[in-house]
Structure 1
Amino acid sequence: MEDQIDQSKQEMDHLMDGSRSIIFGKYEMGRLLGQGTFAKVYYSRDIKNSESVAIKVINKDHVKREGMMEQIIREISIMRLVRHPNIVEIKEVMATKQKIFVVMEYVKGGELFAKVANGKLKEDVARKYFQQLISA
Protein backbone atom coordinates (compact mmCIF):
# COMPACT_ATOMS: atom_id res chain seq x y z
CA MET A 1 0.00 0.00 0.00
CA GLU A 2 2.86 2.38 0.86
CA ASP A 3 4.31 1.79 -2.63
CA GLN A 4 0.94 2.70 -4.16
CA ILE A 5 0.84 5.92 -2.09
CA ASP A 6 4.38 6.86 -3.16
CA GLN A 7 3.53 6.06 -6.78
CA SER A 8 0.38 8.21 -6.63
CA LYS A 9 2.38 11.09 -5.12
CA GLN A 10 4.84 10.87 -8.01
CA GLU A 11 1.93 10.73 -10.44
CA MET A 12 0.36 13.84 -8.86
CA ASP A 13 3.70 15.69 -9.08
CA HIS A 14 3.76 14.73 -12.76
CA LEU A 15 0.18 15.99 -13.16
CA MET A 16 1.05 19.33 -11.60
CA ASP A 17 3.66 19.75 -14.36
CA GLY A 18 0.70 20.00 -16.76
CA SER A 19 0.88 16.53 -18.30
CA ARG A 20 -1.59 13.66 -18.03
CA SER A 21 -1.08 10.99 -15.44
CA ILE A 22 -2.60 7.74 -14.21
CA ILE A 23 -3.36 7.78 -10.49
CA PHE A 24 -3.87 4.72 -8.30
CA GLY A 25 -3.59 2.68 -11.50
CA LYS A 26 -7.25 3.54 -12.21
CA TYR A 27 -7.79 7.04 -13.52
CA GLU A 28 -6.21 9.15 -16.24
CA MET A 29 -6.17 12.72 -14.97
CA GLY A 30 -6.95 15.39 -17.53
CA ARG A 31 -7.57 19.12 -17.62
CA LEU A 32 -8.37 21.32 -14.65
CA LEU A 33 -12.12 22.00 -14.48
CA GLY A 34 -12.11 24.38 -11.54
CA GLN A 35 -10.71 25.15 -8.15
CA GLY A 36 -11.82 26.44 -4.80
CA THR A 37 -10.29 27.24 -1.44
CA PHE A 38 -9.34 23.67 -0.51
CA ALA A 39 -9.44 21.69 -3.74
CA LYS A 40 -8.96 21.46 -7.47
CA VAL A 41 -11.28 19.46 -9.73
CA TYR A 42 -9.95 17.63 -12.78
CA TYR A 43 -11.69 16.02 -15.72
CA SER A 44 -10.57 12.38 -15.62
CA ARG A 45 -11.26 9.04 -17.23
CA ASP A 46 -11.64 5.59 -15.70
CA ILE A 47 -9.07 3.57 -17.65
CA LYS A 48 -10.97 0.30 -17.14
CA ASN A 49 -14.24 1.35 -18.80
CA SER A 50 -13.41 4.79 -20.35
CA GLU A 51 -16.12 6.45 -18.23
CA SER A 52 -15.67 10.21 -17.76
CA VAL A 53 -15.38 11.25 -14.11
CA ALA A 54 -14.43 14.35 -12.17
CA ILE A 55 -11.80 14.03 -9.45
CA LYS A 56 -11.69 16.56 -6.64
CA VAL A 57 -8.16 16.72 -5.19
CA ILE A 58 -8.25 18.12 -1.65
CA ASN A 59 -5.08 19.35 0.05
CA LYS A 60 -5.10 17.78 3.54
CA ASP A 61 -2.60 20.25 5.06
CA HIS A 62 -4.67 23.25 3.99
CA VAL A 63 -7.88 21.69 5.34
CA LYS A 64 -6.18 20.82 8.66
CA ARG A 65 -4.75 24.34 9.03
CA GLU A 66 -8.24 25.79 8.65
CA GLY A 67 -9.71 23.27 11.12
CA MET A 68 -12.05 21.85 8.48
CA MET A 69 -11.02 18.17 8.38
CA GLU A 70 -14.03 16.92 10.37
CA GLN A 71 -16.39 18.90 8.14
CA ILE A 72 -14.78 17.51 4.96
CA ILE A 73 -15.00 13.94 6.31
CA ARG A 74 -18.65 14.45 7.33
CA GLU A 75 -19.52 15.96 3.94
CA ILE A 76 -17.91 13.04 2.08
CA SER A 77 -19.68 10.51 4.34
CA ILE A 78 -23.07 12.08 3.69
CA MET A 79 -22.52 12.47 -0.04
CA ARG A 80 -21.55 8.79 -0.37
CA LEU A 81 -25.02 7.86 0.92
CA VAL A 82 -27.02 10.20 -1.32
CA ARG A 83 -28.53 8.76 -4.51
CA HIS A 84 -30.56 11.24 -6.54
CA PRO A 85 -30.58 12.09 -10.26
CA ASN A 86 -30.00 15.80 -9.52
CA ILE A 87 -27.11 15.34 -7.08
CA VAL A 88 -23.60 14.42 -8.23
CA GLU A 89 -22.72 10.86 -7.18
CA ILE A 90 -19.47 10.10 -5.35
CA LYS A 91 -18.04 6.92 -6.85
CA GLU A 92 -14.91 6.44 -4.78
CA VAL A 93 -12.68 8.18 -2.22
CA MET A 94 -8.93 7.55 -2.00
CA ALA A 95 -6.14 9.27 -0.10
CA THR A 96 -2.40 9.71 0.21
CA LYS A 97 -0.57 11.38 3.09
CA GLN A 98 -1.11 14.82 1.54
CA LYS A 99 -4.21 14.57 -0.66
CA ILE A 100 -7.78 13.27 -0.65
CA PHE A 101 -9.14 12.21 -4.05
CA VAL A 102 -12.93 12.26 -4.41
CA VAL A 103 -13.99 10.52 -7.64
CA MET A 104 -17.36 11.85 -8.75
CA GLU A 105 -19.78 11.51 -11.59
CA TYR A 106 -18.79 13.92 -14.38
CA VAL A 107 -21.57 16.36 -15.25
CA LYS A 108 -21.27 18.43 -18.41
CA GLY A 109 -22.21 22.08 -18.33
CA GLY A 110 -20.37 23.34 -15.26
CA GLU A 111 -21.64 24.51 -11.90
CA LEU A 112 -24.96 26.24 -11.39
CA PHE A 113 -23.19 28.86 -9.25
CA ALA A 114 -21.05 29.89 -12.24
CA LYS A 115 -24.12 30.19 -14.46
CA VAL A 116 -25.89 32.43 -11.94
CA ALA A 117 -22.74 34.50 -11.31
CA ASN A 118 -22.52 35.26 -15.04
CA GLY A 119 -25.82 37.14 -14.97
CA LYS A 120 -29.55 36.63 -15.18
CA LEU A 121 -30.98 33.35 -16.39
CA LYS A 122 -33.96 33.26 -18.72
CA GLU A 123 -37.15 32.37 -16.87
CA ASP A 124 -37.59 28.94 -18.49
CA VAL A 125 -33.96 28.01 -17.72
CA ALA A 126 -34.24 29.27 -14.13
CA ARG A 127 -37.49 27.30 -13.70
CA LYS A 128 -35.80 24.09 -14.90
CA TYR A 129 -32.90 24.51 -12.44
CA PHE A 130 -35.25 25.45 -9.61
CA GLN A 131 -37.35 22.32 -10.19
CA GLN A 132 -34.19 20.19 -10.03
CA LEU A 133 -33.09 21.91 -6.80
CA ILE A 134 -36.50 21.38 -5.20
CA SER A 135 -36.46 17.72 -6.27
CA ALA A 136 -33.01 17.16 -4.76
Structure 2
Amino acid sequence: MKILRHPCIVKLHEVLSSQTKLYFVLEFVSGGVLFDKIVHQGRLREDEARRYFQQLIDAVAHCHSKGVYHRDLKPENLLLDSIGNLKVSDFGLSALPMQGVELLHTTCGTPNYVAPEERNLCYWS
Protein backbone atom coordinates (compact mmCIF):
# COMPACT_ATOMS: atom_id res chain seq x y z
CA MET A 1 0.00 0.00 0.00
CA LYS A 2 2.97 2.32 0.40
CA ILE A 3 3.34 2.40 -3.39
CA LEU A 4 -0.15 3.88 -3.68
CA ARG A 5 0.23 7.65 -3.43
CA HIS A 6 -2.97 9.25 -4.68
CA PRO A 7 -5.30 11.92 -3.25
CA CYS A 8 -8.24 9.48 -3.32
CA ILE A 9 -6.47 6.66 -1.46
CA VAL A 10 -5.93 6.63 2.31
CA LYS A 11 -2.20 7.09 2.93
CA LEU A 12 -0.22 4.43 4.75
CA HIS A 13 2.34 6.33 6.81
CA GLU A 14 4.06 3.47 8.60
CA VAL A 15 3.90 -0.23 9.42
CA LEU A 16 4.99 -1.28 12.90
CA SER A 17 5.17 -4.77 14.33
CA SER A 18 5.58 -6.67 17.55
CA GLN A 19 6.25 -10.40 17.80
CA THR A 20 2.58 -11.18 17.37
CA LYS A 21 0.91 -8.14 15.79
CA LEU A 22 1.12 -5.69 12.91
CA TYR A 23 0.14 -2.04 13.32
CA PHE A 24 -0.70 0.26 10.43
CA VAL A 25 -0.39 4.03 10.86
CA LEU A 26 -2.90 5.47 8.40
CA GLU A 27 -3.98 8.93 7.38
CA PHE A 28 -6.80 10.24 9.59
CA VAL A 29 -9.93 10.73 7.50
CA SER A 30 -12.52 12.67 9.50
CA GLY A 31 -15.61 12.81 7.28
CA GLY A 32 -17.00 9.35 7.97
CA VAL A 33 -17.90 6.39 5.77
CA LEU A 34 -19.83 6.71 2.50
CA PHE A 35 -22.14 3.87 3.55
CA ASP A 36 -23.22 5.77 6.69
CA LYS A 37 -23.84 8.91 4.66
CA ILE A 38 -26.12 6.99 2.29
CA VAL A 39 -27.97 5.34 5.19
CA HIS A 40 -28.56 8.64 7.01
CA GLN A 41 -29.08 10.95 4.04
CA GLY A 42 -30.71 8.53 1.63
CA ARG A 43 -30.12 8.76 -2.08
CA LEU A 44 -27.19 10.95 -3.16
CA ARG A 45 -27.72 13.88 -5.49
CA GLU A 46 -26.61 13.09 -9.04
CA ASP A 47 -23.74 15.61 -9.04
CA GLU A 48 -22.47 14.27 -5.71
CA ALA A 49 -22.68 10.63 -6.87
CA ARG A 50 -20.90 11.56 -10.11
CA ARG A 51 -18.06 13.26 -8.18
CA TYR A 52 -17.63 10.25 -5.85
CA PHE A 53 -17.68 7.87 -8.81
CA GLN A 54 -15.04 9.89 -10.69
CA GLN A 55 -12.82 9.93 -7.60
CA LEU A 56 -13.31 6.17 -7.19
CA ILE A 57 -12.43 5.52 -10.85
CA ASP A 58 -9.30 7.68 -10.53
CA ALA A 59 -8.20 5.79 -7.41
CA VAL A 60 -8.87 2.35 -8.92
CA ALA A 61 -7.05 3.28 -12.15
CA HIS A 62 -4.06 4.38 -10.07
CA CYS A 63 -4.10 1.11 -8.10
CA HIS A 64 -4.27 -0.93 -11.30
CA SER A 65 -1.44 1.09 -12.86
CA LYS A 66 0.69 0.00 -9.88
CA GLY A 67 -0.46 -3.62 -10.16
CA VAL A 68 -2.61 -3.50 -7.02
CA TYR A 69 -6.14 -4.94 -7.04
CA HIS A 70 -8.39 -3.93 -4.10
CA ARG A 71 -10.92 -6.78 -4.44
CA ASP A 72 -13.35 -5.47 -1.82
CA LEU A 73 -14.68 -2.13 -3.06
CA LYS A 74 -17.93 -1.24 -1.31
CA PRO A 75 -19.43 1.85 0.35
CA GLU A 76 -18.18 0.63 3.75
CA ASN A 77 -14.57 0.89 2.48
CA LEU A 78 -14.96 4.37 1.01
CA LEU A 79 -14.20 7.19 3.43
CA LEU A 80 -14.92 10.90 3.14
CA ASP A 81 -12.47 13.59 4.19
CA SER A 82 -13.40 16.82 5.97
CA ILE A 83 -14.33 18.55 2.70
CA GLY A 84 -16.25 15.63 1.23
CA ASN A 85 -13.65 14.02 -1.02
CA LEU A 86 -13.72 10.24 -1.33
CA LYS A 87 -10.79 8.09 -0.16
CA VAL A 88 -10.46 4.35 -0.81
CA SER A 89 -9.61 2.42 2.34
CA ASP A 90 -9.20 -1.16 3.66
CA PHE A 91 -6.77 -2.93 1.38
CA GLY A 92 -6.95 -6.08 3.53
CA LEU A 93 -8.03 -8.29 0.61
CA SER A 94 -5.91 -6.54 -2.01
CA ALA A 95 -3.51 -8.51 -4.15
CA LEU A 96 -0.49 -8.10 -6.34
CA PRO A 97 -0.38 -10.67 -9.15
CA MET A 98 2.75 -12.78 -9.40
CA GLN A 99 5.27 -11.81 -12.05
CA GLY A 100 4.19 -13.08 -15.46
CA VAL A 101 0.66 -13.92 -14.27
CA GLU A 102 -2.11 -11.71 -15.57
CA LEU A 103 -5.11 -13.17 -13.71
CA LEU A 104 -5.76 -13.65 -10.02
CA HIS A 105 -7.35 -17.04 -9.36
CA THR A 106 -8.94 -16.52 -5.95
CA THR A 107 -12.40 -15.12 -5.44
CA CYS A 108 -12.97 -12.90 -2.46
CA GLY A 109 -14.94 -9.91 -1.33
CA THR A 110 -18.16 -9.22 0.51
CA PRO A 111 -20.93 -11.56 -0.79
CA ASN A 112 -23.55 -8.79 -1.19
CA TYR A 113 -21.14 -6.86 -3.43
CA VAL A 114 -19.66 -9.73 -5.47
CA ALA A 115 -20.65 -9.75 -9.15
CA PRO A 116 -23.30 -12.40 -9.99
CA GLU A 117 -20.95 -14.13 -12.42
CA GLU A 118 -18.37 -14.53 -9.62
CA ARG A 119 -21.00 -15.94 -7.28
CA ASN A 120 -22.15 -18.37 -9.98
CA LEU A 121 -18.56 -19.57 -10.48
CA CYS A 122 -18.29 -20.32 -6.76
CA TYR A 123 -21.62 -22.16 -6.83
CA TRP A 124 -20.68 -24.38 -9.78
CA SER A 125 -17.07 -25.13 -8.83
TM-score category (smaller protein): 0.3 to 0.5
TM-score, normalised to structure 1, is 0.38
More helix per residue: 1
More strand per residue: 1
- Higher normalized contact order (CA 8 Å, seq sep 6+, divided by chain length): 2
